[in-house]
Structure 1
Amino acid sequence: MDPADYRIGIICALSVEMAAVHAMLDEEYPKQTQTDRDHNDYTFGRIGVHDVVIACLPAGIMGIAPAATVAKDMCRSFPIAFGLMVGVGGGVWSKKTDVRLGDVVVGGPEGPYGGVVQWDSGKAEKGGMFVRTGAMHKPPPVLLNAVQGLRAQHWKIKRGERKLDSFLCGLFADKPDMGETFGFQGVENDILVEADYEHGGGHTCDQCDATRIVDRTPMPTDPTAPRIHYGVIASGSQVVKHGITRDKIIESLGGAICFEMEAAGLDDFPCLVVRGICDYADSHKNKRWQPYAAVTAAAFAKELLGLVNKLERAKPERPDHPKHFIVPRRNPNHVAREDVSREMTKFLKRQSIGQVRISVCGLGGMGKTQIALDFAHKSRNNYHVFWVHTSTANNFLADFASIGRAVGVVGDHTQAPEACAAVQRWLDSEESGNWRMILDNLDDMSDDLGKVLATALPRHRGLIFITSRNEHIVGRIVSEGFCVRLNEMSISEAKQAFQKLSGISDTNRESDATNQLLEQLGYLPLAVAQAAAYIRRQRISTGSNSKHRKAI
């Protein structure tokens, strides 16, 4: 085996979780090499047709930041296409969602959330309102499609007859010693008490008041066959073990069915979160159900991977492979927008299987094209990069034909429809290698341009970066989670850009005048650039007389 073979990463937080995933391997492989900066300890093996690498958080360390570090190190050593976070969590029971201990919760898109929300991350706004800002992006499409397929299968199969049930039965039959610890813990030990009733002490609820136990409908079928629930998972940096607090958090979120402490750290790691329920996130929680909950989650993960096609081995391009670069010159004085850079980095780290489309939307003068140019030039060493003007259908067709001639798939006299089809086939084929395409000024998709784009754009590979004044295109050809909406520059960014373009240093004498001018310009990138260019040409200062200030 080679590191390039490992395209799927599984992350666990606890040793009992890693043991459960390890037990689900169809075959275990020897240790592989990893980079010097990667400090994870890995288990390697095969689940079905997939070669997987498994990592666990360091002993005694839990939480969002350690999970992010483990994922980052894993991606340093292996070309991970997507991952799974598999382990245990605290369930949230309600009459609507009858979650029991040992059941499995799968994080998935619901309402404003992509599957996981960081319940303790946000900002205080006017009027004392707390607005959450820690929602994770959706799991990658390949996993959401597999989840949908598995849900459809489970509708047709009785509980107890699913593959995950056979995985559990097979494990306990083959390893009876493991079955004693990881087996079902009995309905009599699945106790949910009223939210305001505190645990009296001890490792069990034997001394708790039985009259405070919530009366729930007995399980209608085999209680040892875990049920699967799909919904929002609440992740945070604190352990939730208080019934009233749990319910208040759930109410503020508008609904969630599980609590845990690591998934919010994996926003840059394209993954699906799978949790077996080991407690009810109240003061009565204990570790009795952890092993069984861990193994039910692992069994679900194994069944889910059975619906994912085998991934191709990562193929690094030869360093001498020629790169096509058809892009206009960039502005050497461009000042990077920190907020945009952060969002772009997140999007690029989430690129997994298939094609990724990113958009930057904003009013004219916000700097969309300059951001795209900067992105294109930074990509030129590792990718083919193609620039396509999309203000009209004719511009698009002309630039696509130019791409076709540059890469050798289109002749000088090839008609537009044939040229577009040839370029599309080449871009969607392995022959094209790694590429990125910028569609600049895609402001209107009506009439001819919309029809051309619907048939000519590649669909299966590469990255397409779109600039547009029209946010309505986001829902049509770009997923909502992959759009950066531009606002005016920050004060520091506007000042840095102005000084760089005007050649004026930040002296005490000029600083106040510069700040006043930038405020008048609304911190708009185009306005800042034009004012700076005028000042440089006229060789004046920002504190010049009113005649020049009116001209600016």
Structure 2
Amino acid sequence: MLRRLRRDEYTVGWICALPVELAAAKVMLDEEYDHLERDENDENLYSLGSIGGHNVVIVCLPAGRIGNNPAAAVATQMRATFKGIQFGLMVGIGGGVPNPEVDIRLGDVVVSQPDRISGGVVQYDLGKTTPSGFDRMGSLNSPPQILLGAVAKVQASKLQGRSRLSEYFSQFSRMPKFQRDNAGPDVLFEAAYDHEGGQTCGLCKREREVDRQRRESEEVVVHYGTIASGNQVMRDGRTRDRVSRELGGVLCFEMEAAGLMNSFPCLVIRGICDYADSHKNKTWQAFAAATAAACAKGVLSVIPTAEIDKSHTADKIIKEKDVLDSILNRLSYAENAPFNSYARQHEPTCLPDTRVDVLREIHKWADGQDKRCIFWLNGLAGTGKSTIARTVARTYSDHGRLGASFFFLRGGGDISHAGKFFTSIAVQLARNVPALSRHICEAITERSDIASQSLRDQWQQLVLRPLSKLDGSSCQSLYVLVVDALDECDDENNIRIIPQLLAEARSLESVRLRVFLTSRPEIPIRYGFCQIPDTEHQDFVLHKILPSIVDHDISIFLAHNLRLIGQERSLDASWPGEEVIRYLVQLASGLFIWAATTCRFIREGKRFVAKRLDTILNSSGIAATAPEKHLNEIYITVLRHSVSEEYTDEEKEELYYMLRQILGSIAVLFSPLSIYSLSTLLRVTKEDVDQTLEDLQSVLDVPKDQTQPLRLHHPSFRDFLLNKDRCEGPHFWVDEKQAHQTLADSCIQLMSTSLKQDICSLNTPGVLVTNVASSRVEQCLPLEVQYACMYWVQHLQKSSAVLHDDDQVHQFLQNYLLYWLEALSLIGKISEGVHAITSLESYVLANKSPNLHAFVYDAKRFVLYNRSVVEQAPLQTYCSALIFAPEDSVVRKQFKNDIPTWICKKPTVQAKWNATLQTLEGHSDWVRSVAFSPDGKLVASASDDKTVRLWDAVTGAALQMLELSIMIRTLSFSTSGQYLITDRGVLDVSSLQLLLDPLEELRTLFVSNNWVAEEGANILWLPPDYRATCVAVWGGMVVLGHSSGRISFLEFEQGSKTI
């Protein structure tokens, strides 16, 4: 009678896809167990038994159901039924990949084994098709450590001559179907030779066979390496070899493993039954299934049963991964930052045989022993920096050595600033380097507010420290970080500090991080690199490459793209001819953006491509030698062709107006919008926007999916549109101030018609914003409304409009201020609201609009006082914020009818706002010293909690924090605002890094231990009556505040202090 075990006593799950594989698996059982009662929620049918002392559950996919998805479904049900399963085996047949370096034969076995590129299994068909090829996405987990340890023991036994594979295979000796003799000949045909037809290869030509040396022994060989998994059968030799090359060399193709690796920790074992080409047949399947099963038994047999008890169940492993993923999701992430994001899928990489010298230089730096950890590629607009950056990112991504990439874009929303720079890099690193994931998640858990901390803190906590914890054995020894167009970041201070922070990657030891960075050679970036020793960064000036080399590359680019256009339109193979290509190269004047725009313009001509080429040739003159002039000409040509000569003058003027309105808006937007959002914001029909942009796709990226944002192909087109001289007339020139005025008016109108109290129907006034689903916020506050809420003040300021009492701005604030603040809270942008109101206060002239100025001033006090509660609970805008506002508050009076009626007795409050603007919370102990920066934008504070903090003086937001082992008692800003002078040394404000080198040019005047000191030397002792409770330093002036209320002023001359 068969033994019956409980479900929780089974520890190993064995999955197979075909009946022949199931039969082979059951032969390997040392003992077969009785069936259990079927779970009504489980559709699987199981075979139960033991192998090597381990209780094993064997399950086969339903007949006719093969592939990743069925495998995942079967594994999920098995895990739910048998909760004690620790790990699994995916055992069966696969298609081998012939390789001169790895002699794979039919009947051999391939076992998935991780390397520094993959976890042992790669899903080769998951991704998207782009102009530069198929972009694979996602990564799969490695097998559990206990199975990898078993694989190592099996390999060692083989080397010692103690392999038991033949012993286990001998269990098939009485089963003829599984014997090698019945499998037939082992024939490999050339990859490019297709099957001639029939069930066998009887009609295939023997002269197309690959000549291989006969093996001395018929012993089955086991190979270890990467297995490629997909949802379709690989049955083409050419495709097999191409995919294998792209993946860095795989040993086998199969169809189920990719569905398991991230949801069911397992080892994949495949017996080779064919060569994944068109000559497939089933004659080797039984033998291959048997060798794979024997190998699987060999792996299980070397794992002591006691080790099983120490390992986690499959469920626990999956849950741990889910926990890590959920922690990682807490970090703010810029979806469009990576080089291969959906929004960038049509952006090109370098063509073969172009940019050869610069790419060689980059790879030499990245792959060699160069100690310089940053490569700065700088060049003028349109010289091809971003294309090179995408090429570098693609190359290292394909080789599993791309750590992360971030492509900045002016006006690109999340990628136009550094707010999500390091958090996005950390998320990509965790995904691209699995061994890093746990360390990064630990950093997030330790500092839950890390995403709101300074760039330095984010860089150190989320990137440097996790990387420093890697031992180098579980990952690559080198990773490349690609940062493109840093000059398009909208904050010059961040532009300066980012290169300095990235240079700290030099401190890493076990793993090297190379940073490839591109930008225009603008002053803030040059300043940043000036702070880094030349020995730590390599510079390459793109626009100084020999013109002949650049012209050669542009020639290849033009010839390639025009040949494709000619093929699309069935033109003569010789079109357009070498002479035309040479002339176009001259017109490009070294600018790749000119060549790219020209090709897009010609392609859009469709049946008139030849005519459009003639237009380019006839409208451009070599006499215009400046590259910018040639760029002007191609842009003007594109715009003129969007206005048909058949239109009447009146129709042309209408179209010119529409072009200026729509293109102007796209050019000056602070964050890109879709066609739908832009049309809603501008109050024009979607059809008008569609038709206006229809012929402008050579300069604009107009997605077919109209929910995706519109983008300029290149920032140089924006520069062109906003420059009256370059546009050569009024038809296309966009008046930047007028464009901002149009958008400011549109934003105010949209908010006035969209915003209302409790817009998300939260009902309960205490609901926290963290408990409101983002989908609900997006539904109630569409993207165009969010845009209006965030940027209307910025557009207003850029327009230079003069404001007056009772104008639309005044009326908007009087009617919708609280609704606007509620909306900002819901989208997590209260800080932006504080900045907006403060900016508006400085913009409104009190003498010309006293009532508006008074309202804005009061609104600023209202927001600063209530920022903390409104940021957390949006509906408290109408409760706590109004109830506790002073009686004479303009805002309170204006919105008194919005105070909830359920508050029957209101508290007694002060008549006016007091002197306290806001309270900064963060220090945990006594605050010893506070100082304002010279421009009044920053506040620095030092506390007995051994921290120095920097605050935004306008919004009160915490910007940076430095933890020290000592207390700092006094601090002050240098006159330049670049340094903090403390009694313990000098701090760099941009990084809060303690500087060790003396700075002779600084006036390091401060008060410490009852002394006024300068540059470390005591110069004036303070008697008890003059000892201060607080100190401020401005240049040579020291101000002492005393507990009695008295204030003392001391001023010192520059120069030597001697007696």
Instruction: With the length of structure 2 as denominator, give the TM-score of the two structures.
Output: 0.34
Q: Deviations over 1:33-81 (max 9, x none)?
A: 3432111000000111101000000011111110001000000110211
> Partner residue of 1:119?
124
Q: Deviations over 1:329-364 (max 9, x none)?
A: xxxxxxxxxxxxxxxx99851669xxx995888899
What is the 5 A alignment of 1:93-112? 93-112=98-117
> Partner residue of 1:61?
65
Counterpart code for 1:14: L
Partner Cα distance (2:309, 2:94) in 1: 33
- The answer to whether residue 191 in structure 2 is matched with residue 207 in structure 1 is no
> Partner residue of 2:244?
250
> Partner residue of 1:265?
259
**The one of 54, 60, 70 aligned to 1:50:** 54
**The one of 221, 226, 230 aligned to 1:232:** 226
- The answer to whether residue 782 in structure 2 is matched with residue 514 in structure 1 is no
> Partner residue of 1:337?
none
Counterpart code for 2:195: H
> Partner residue of 2:769?
500
> Partner residue of 1:171?
172
Residue 255 of structure 1 deviates from its aligned partner by: 1.0
Conserved in 1, the CA contact under 8 Å of 2:327 and 2:445? Answer: no
Residue 142 of structure 1 deviates from its aligned partner by: 0.4
Give the direction of change, closer, same or farther, for the CA distance of 1:532–1:476 in structure 2 (3 Å limit): farther
Conserved in 2, the CA contact under 8 Å of 1:243 and 1:283? Answer: yes
- The answer to whether residue 34 in structure 2 is matched with residue 40 in structure 1 is no
What is the 5 A alignment of 1:294-313? 294-310=289-305
Counterpart code for 1:146: A
Residue 525 of structure 1 deviates from its aligned partner by: 9.3
Residue 152 of structure 1 deviates from its aligned partner by: 1.1
Q: Deviations over 1:156-199 (max 9, x none)?
A: 21xxx621101112430xxx2x1x11001479700000011111
Residue 312 of structure 1 deviates from its aligned partner by: 7.9
Q: Deviations over 1:511-539 (max 9, x none)?
A: 74434556899x88997996733865544
SS in 1 for 2:296: helix
SS in 2 for 1:135: coil
Partner Cα distance (1:480, 1:527) in 2: 40
- The answer to whether residue 177 in structure 2 is matched with residue 181 in structure 1 is yes
Conserved in 2, the CA contact under 8 Å of 1:114 and 1:138? Answer: yes
Partner Cα distance (2:153, 2:781) in 1: 67
Q: Deviations over 1:74-103 (max 9, x none)?
A: 001102110000000000011101000000
SS in 2 for 1:53: strand
Give the direction of change, closer, same or farther, for the CA distance of 1:100–1:350 in structure 2 (3 Å limit): farther
SS in 2 for 1:475: coil
Give the direction of change, closer, same or farther, for the CA distance of 1:527–1:296 in structure 2 (3 Å limit): farther
Give the direction of change, closer, same or farther, for the CA distance of 1:49–1:357 in structure 2 (3 Å limit): farther
Give the direction of change, closer, same or farther, for the CA distance of 1:535–1:23 in structure 2 (3 Å limit): closer
Partner Cα distance (1:241, 1:41) in 2: 30
Q: Which has the higher contact order (CA 8 A, sep 6+)?
A: 1
> Partner residue of 1:471?
466
- Identity, % of aligned positions: 38
Q: Quick check: 201-210 or 529-538, which moved more?
A: 529-538
Give the direction of change, closer, same or farther, for the CA distance of 1:517–1:468 in structure 2 (3 Å limit): farther
Give the direction of change, closer, same or farther, for the CA distance of 1:509–1:268 in structure 2 (3 Å limit): closer
Partner Cα distance (2:779, 2:52) in 1: 66
Residue 132 of structure 1 deviates from its aligned partner by: 1.4
> Partner residue of 1:376?
none
What is the 5 A alignment of 1:415-454? 442=446
Give the direction of change, closer, same or farther, for the CA distance of 1:101–1:39 in structure 2 (3 Å limit): same
Conserved in 1, the CA contact under 8 Å of 2:86 and 2:308? Answer: no
**The one of 272, 284, 287 aligned to 2:282:** 287
Partner Cα distance (2:239, 2:39) in 1: 43
Conserved in 1, the CA contact under 8 Å of 2:68 and 2:257? Answer: yes
Conserved in 2, the CA contact under 8 Å of 1:11 and 1:54? Answer: yes
> Partner residue of 1:162?
163
Aligned-CA RMSD value: 4.4
What is the 5 A alignment of 1:4-83? 4-79=8-83, 80-83=85-88
Counterpart code for 2:65: I
Runs of at least 5 residues in structure 2 that lack an aligned partner in the other structure: 334-440, 448-460, 477-672, 674-706, 708-758, 795-823, 833-866, 883-890, 895-916, 919-953, 957-1059
Q: Matched residue pairs, number?
A: 402
Q: Deviations over 1:183-227 (max 9, x none)?
A: 014797000000111111122222211111101111122x1x210
Residue 306 of structure 1 deviates from its aligned partner by: 0.9
SS in 2 for 1:55: strand
SS in 2 for 1:150: helix
Structure of greater Rg: 2
Q: Deviations over 1:252-285 (max 9, x none)?
A: 2121010001111102000000000000001111
SS in 2 for 1:21: helix
SS in 2 for 1:189: coil
SS in 1 for 2:305: coil
Partner Cα distance (1:313, 1:256) in 2: 30
Conserved in 2, the CA contact under 8 Å of 1:195 and 1:244? Answer: yes
Give the direction of change, closer, same or farther, for the CA distance of 1:197–1:439 in structure 2 (3 Å limit): closer
Conserved in 1, the CA contact under 8 Å of 2:27 and 2:171? Answer: no
Q: Quick check: 500-509 or 7-16, which moved more?
A: 500-509
Q: Deviations over 1:291-346 (max 9, x none)?
A: 0000000000001101112158989xxxxxxxxxxxxxxxxxxxxxxxxxxxxx99
Partner Cα distance (1:517, 1:122) in 2: 36
Give the direction of change, closer, same or farther, for the CA distance of 1:499–1:257 in structure 2 (3 Å limit): same
What is the 5 A alignment of 1:350-429? 358=324, 366=332
> Partner residue of 1:533?
872
SS in 1 for 2:116: coil
Counterpart code for 1:119: Y
Residue 128 of structure 1 deviates from its aligned partner by: 3.2
- The answer to whether residue 225 in structure 2 is matched with residue 220 in structure 1 is no
Counterpart code for 2:248: G
Conserved in 1, the CA contact under 8 Å of 2:831 and 2:955? Answer: no
Give the direction of change, closer, same or farther, for the CA distance of 1:536–1:214 in structure 2 (3 Å limit): same
Give the direction of change, closer, same or farther, for the CA distance of 1:203–1:146 in structure 2 (3 Å limit): same
Partner Cα distance (2:189, 2:779) in 1: 67
**The one of 76, 86, 89 aligned to 1:84:** 89
Conserved in 1, the CA contact under 8 Å of 2:112 and 2:224? Answer: yes
> Partner residue of 1:349?
318
> Partner residue of 1:140?
144
Conserved in 2, the CA contact under 8 Å of 1:366 and 1:524? Answer: no
**The one of 170, 189, 193 aligned to 2:189:** 193
